[in-house]
Amino acid sequence: MPIPERETPKGRRESYVLPKVPVPPLKQSLDMYLSSIKHLVKEEQYRKTKSIVEKFGEPGGTGELLQKKLVEKSDNTYNWVYDYWLEDMYLNQRLALPVNSNPAMVFPKQNFTDRKDSLRFAAHLITGVLEYKERIDTRTLPVDFSRGQLAGTPLCMKQYYRLFNTYRLPGLKRDTLVIHKTGSTEQEHIIVACKNQFFVLDLVVKEKKLKEMDILTQLEKIVKMAENTEERQPPIGLLTSDGRTEWAQARDVLIKDSVNRESLAVIEKCLCVVCLDDPSGMEVGDTSRALLMLHGGGHEKMGANRWYDKPMQFVVGEDGVCGTVCEHSPFEGIVLVACTEYLMKFMTGSPSKMGRATSVSELPTPGRLLWETTPHIQGLLKASAGRLQRLVRDLDMDVHKFQVYGKEFIKKQKMSPDAYIQVALQLAFYRCNGRLVSTYESASIRRFHEGRVDNIRSATPEALAFVKAMTDEKASLSDSEKIQRLWDAIKAQTNYTIAAITGMGIDNHLLGLREISRELQMEVPEIFTDETYVASNQFILSTSQVPTTVEMFCCYGPVVPNGYGCCYNPQSDHLLFSVTSFHGSTETCSAVFIRALDEGLVEMRDLCKKSNKPQSNAAALKTVEKSQGAGSKPLSTPRENREISHTEEALRCPY
Ligand code: COA
């Protein structure tokens, strides 16, 4: 039974109890599952799936048995879904991390006067990171509380404690998320990447912590050393950009040599990586900056100046292209935003301490990590470079600022901005493809102990009715019928959101039932081999709201070859969208999707404006309270659920 760490917090001001993630009632999830796919598959396929699902859920059937086992698991663990989810979502995935898995935060373009100016920025950033890390180590980060829907609940902070002390180790079949003890003395260095070389920047020298001035001095030395072509090492970082199995195989070859073993050990324990990038030569716009964050522009640009396994990788480009690239498995984008916003505010709000004296009179020269290669390893590097290049060529990205209105306009309509944007995304997809598809929207379940996310399946039947009203049935429906369908779609979306954030989503539940059947070494139940289930987990539209309060934005790639990745950042007066797809697919085109989105958002505004009788907020909320979710029966709330107890099972958030 995984026991969460129970560390004594220093300076903790908040103390509260977080409930466990509930196990939703079986029938509720099965009903929700059926109604989430009914309108997305052919009638005949639906009939087949329905009978499989009914058989699974019949009294005394496999579903009941698995549900019982899952409830037992929930009783005996702190979070029944955490490991299943982590493995399914990340560690079992074999695709390369850049584009396919690692999201990026793109900072505002910096205007550096010269290389030294960019190094000053990097030194200041590192100082901010160390300050933030200190807050993590001393457990003095303020506790987050939920906002938006069901606001005011304390949220689990565990993800923050995985920002700097984790590492995703590649495995032949499954990766491992290595977690170092927070504040460990092994972790007193960062890795600086420059010209595809990796240097060790020790943060403590002669038992003294480096000051910002010292860090700058060390960075200058690193840049100089990196320029020395005679000592140049092979671009080993490229291997981390490869498929996970390929990288694991290459790593097995690398570690045969003790020099490589040592270099890997140092990287795998670092706090974070700071990539000092040369100018990319690309025109610096939102889209090109986002591309450089996601894949570095390939091996000919900055693609090898990275170590993709490390969760926190800060990029500081001489041309002002800066941001963070993240290995996603230890934390969600929201935690990443909190950390990077802290850093941005630190950078702009606290003056650089360059004027102060150095802490150590003589700083040792930072060590360059050495690599022993063989023709075999050279061949592996070439293959990795080729595969990264294909990924670079394939990624179709468009970052777009919709400036006609922002979330304040939507709020004035008494609608949830997030639900509204999701409905707009459905409309855009329908416009482009004439159908709706299985859609993923991440819903935070941090209100539960060690909660990560579940899925809001946004392609609801009500969304389909609405998008049809705006397209195929446009001419035959009145404005009031259209606005009614918009309201229905928004309500269905809001209801699903509330279900998902209160632990009543279906994706985690079905995953748990599937995985527990594996643990019991049962034959995989038909419900999980059924083509509908398989298709319903191919998220052609993968979406996520990542809002920021300072100027920056998040982006990520599609999760299937014929899909879109759509990250959005709703602001008061505008909405920022970062849309990705693959050129290789004939079914997608990011620019076309953006155009359809723009068009739909304007039409939705016009429709709202025409409606002179918007449903009152109270009425809307009443409907939400009477929510039937996406299923046909009322959802249990977590408080009613037997898995949630605030007494003997209650858990103290361990920080
Ligand atoms: N009328 C007027 N205002 C409304 C409203 C209505 N009917 N419904 C919501 N609002 C307001 C909210 O009060 C909130 O106000 P605020 O900006 O002052 O806080 C704002 O609109 C936003 O609410 P909403 O649009 O409903 O979204 P949300 O903030 O509840 O977010 C999710 C919904 C699903 C995005 C959120 O719950 C979540 O899970 N976020 C995490 C996603 C994530 O993990 N992303 C990263 C993945 S790596």
Q: Is the CB of 148 under 6 A from ligand 1?
A: yes
In this prediction, residue 582 carries a pLDDT of 98
In this prediction, residue 377 carries a pLDDT of 98
Q: Is the CB of 622 under 6 A from ligand 1?
A: no
Q: Is the CB of 411 under 6 A from ligand 1?
A: yes
For residues 351-376, average pLDDT:
83
Residue 412 CA to ligand 1 centre (angstroms): 14
Token pair, residue 566, equals: 């759509």
> Other CB atoms closer than 10 Å to residue 608's CB: what's the count?
19
For ligand 1, atom 46, which residue shows the shortest CA distance? 333
Q: Is the CB of 418 under 6 A from ligand 1?
A: yes
Residue 149 CA to ligand 1 centre (angstroms): 6
Residue 146 CA to ligand 1 centre (angstroms): 9
Choose the weakest-confidence range: 105-119, 175-189, 388-402, 416-430: 175-189
For residues 482-498, average pLDDT:
98
Mean pLDDT of all residues belonging to the chain: 91
Q: Provide the Cα torsion 128, 133, 134, 138; round to 10°.
A: 150
Report the share of the chain in percent with pLDDT over 90. Answer: 85
Amino acid at 65: L
Q: Is the pLDDT of residue 255 over 60?
A: yes
In this prediction, residue 5 carries a pLDDT of 39
Residue 174's contacts (CB-CB under 8 Å, 6 or more residues apart) are 87, 91, 92
Q: Is the pLDDT of residue 630 over 60?
A: no
185 burial level (CB within 10 Å; 0-12, 13-18, 19+): exposed
Q: Is the pLDDT of residue 563 over 70?
A: yes
Query: Where residue 624 falls among pLDDT bands split at 50, 70, 90?
Result: very low
For residues 496-511, average pLDDT:
98
CA contacts within 13 A on the Cβ side of 96? 24
Task: For residue 326, give the DSSP letter.
Answer: E
Interatomic CA distance for residues 336 and 166, integer angstroms:
14
Query: Where residue 619 falls among pLDDT bands split at 50, 70, 90?
Result: very low
Q: Is the pLDDT of residue 631 over 70?
A: no
For ligand 1, atom 5, which residue shows the shortest CA distance? 416
Beta bridge partners of 442: 455
Residue 54 CA to ligand 1 centre (angstroms): 35
For ligand 1, atom 1, which residue shows the shortest CA distance? 414
CA contacts within 13 A on the Cβ side of 619? 8
Out of 418, 453, 553, 559, mutate this one to test ligand 1's pocket (max ligand atoms within 8 Å of CB): namely 418
Q: Please indicate whether residue 299 is annotated as part of the active site.
A: no
Write the pLDDT tens digit of every residue in 314-326: 999 999 999 999 9
Is 374 within 8 Å of 571 (Cβ atoms)? no
171-180 burial, b for 16+ CB within 10 Å, e for fewer? beeebebeeb
What stretches of 369-460 show up as alpha helix (H) in DSSP? Answer: 375-394, 407-412, 417-433
Query: Where residue 350 falls among pLDDT bands split at 50, 70, 90?
Result: confident
Interatomic CA distance for residues 50 and 45, integer angstroms:
9
Residue 543's contacts (CB-CB under 8 Å, 6 or more residues apart) are 422, 425, 439, 440, 441, 442, 458, 565, 566, 567, 568
Query: Where residue 558 falls among pLDDT bands split at 50, 70, 90?
Result: very high
Residue 326 CA to ligand 1 centre (angstroms): 24
Residue 167's contacts (CB-CB under 8 Å, 6 or more residues apart) are 177, 178, 180, 268, 269, 309, 310, 311
Q: Is 567 left (phi over 0), alpha (psi -120 to 50) or beta?
A: beta
Interatomic CA distance for residues 607 and 470, integer angstroms:
10
Amino acid at 3: I
Query: Where residue 186 falls among pLDDT bands split at 50, 70, 90?
Result: low
Q: Is the pLDDT of residue 165 over 70?
A: yes
In this prediction, residue 412 carries a pLDDT of 97
Choose the weakest-confidence range: 347-356, 519-528, 560-569, 629-638: 629-638
Question: Is 443 in a helix, a strand, or coil?
Answer: strand
Out of 155, 413, 416, mutate this one to test ligand 1's pocket (max ligand atoms within 8 Å of CB): namely 416
Token pair, residue 512, equals: 């748990």
Interatomic CA distance for residues 260 and 575, integer angstroms:
46
Question: Pick from 108, 124, 142: which is nearest to 349 by CA?
Answer: 124
Interatomic CA distance for residues 146 and 446, integer angstroms:
9
Is 513 within 8 Å of 74 (Cβ atoms)? no
Amino acid at 140: T
For ligand 1, atom 26, which residue shows the shortest CA distance? 416
Q: Is the CB of 149 under 6 A from ligand 1?
A: yes
- When computed from its CA atoms, the radius of gyration of the chain, rounded to whole angstroms, is 25
Question: Pick from 190, 219, 211, 210: which is nearest to 318 by CA?
Answer: 219
In this prediction, residue 483 carries a pLDDT of 97
> Alpha carbon of 399 to those of 22, 531, 590: distances in Å?
37, 34, 9
Q: Provide the Cα torsion 432, 437, 438, 442; round to 10°.
A: 30
Question: Pick from 89, 58, 153, 289: which is nearest to 646 by CA?
Answer: 153
What stretches of 212-268 show up as alpha helix (H) in DSSP? Answer: 212-227, 244-254, 258-268
Q: Is the pLDDT of residue 643 over 60?
A: no
For residues 500-514, average pLDDT:
98
Catalytic residue among 180, 328, 376, 509: 328
Q: 2 or 603, which is more confident?
A: 603
In this prediction, residue 183 carries a pLDDT of 65
In this prediction, residue 207 carries a pLDDT of 87
Is 234 within 8 Å of 161 (Cβ atoms)? no
**pTM for the predicted model, two decimal places:** 0.91
Atom of ligand 1 nearest to the CA of 412: 2
In this prediction, residue 16 carries a pLDDT of 61
Token pair, residue 557, equals: 């790639």
Q: Is the CB of 334 under 6 A from ligand 1?
A: yes
Question: Is 544 in a helix, a strand, or coil?
Answer: strand
- How would you classify the pairing of strands 204-205 and 197-202? unpaired
Out of 86, 149, 487, mutate this one to test ligand 1's pocket (max ligand atoms within 8 Å of CB): namely 149
Residue 367's contacts (CB-CB under 8 Å, 6 or more residues apart) are 199, 200
Residue 547 CA to ligand 1 centre (angstroms): 9
Q: Is the pLDDT of residue 655 over 80?
A: no
Query: Where residue 307 falls among pLDDT bands split at 50, 70, 90?
Result: very high
Interatomic CA distance for residues 152 and 157, integer angstroms:
15
For ligand 1, atom 13, which residue shows the shortest CA distance? 148
Write the pLDDT tens digit of every residue in 59-77: 999 999 999 999 999 999 9
Q: 610 or 371, which is more confident?
A: 371
Query: Where residue 282 falls among pLDDT bands split at 50, 70, 90?
Result: confident
Interatomic CA distance for residues 498 and 456, integer angstroms:
9
In this prediction, residue 541 carries a pLDDT of 98
Interatomic CA distance for residues 649 and 344, integer angstroms:
39
Q: Is the pLDDT of residue 620 over 60?
A: no
Q: Is the CB of 542 under 6 A from ligand 1?
A: no
Report the share of the chain in percent with pLDDT over 70. Answer: 89
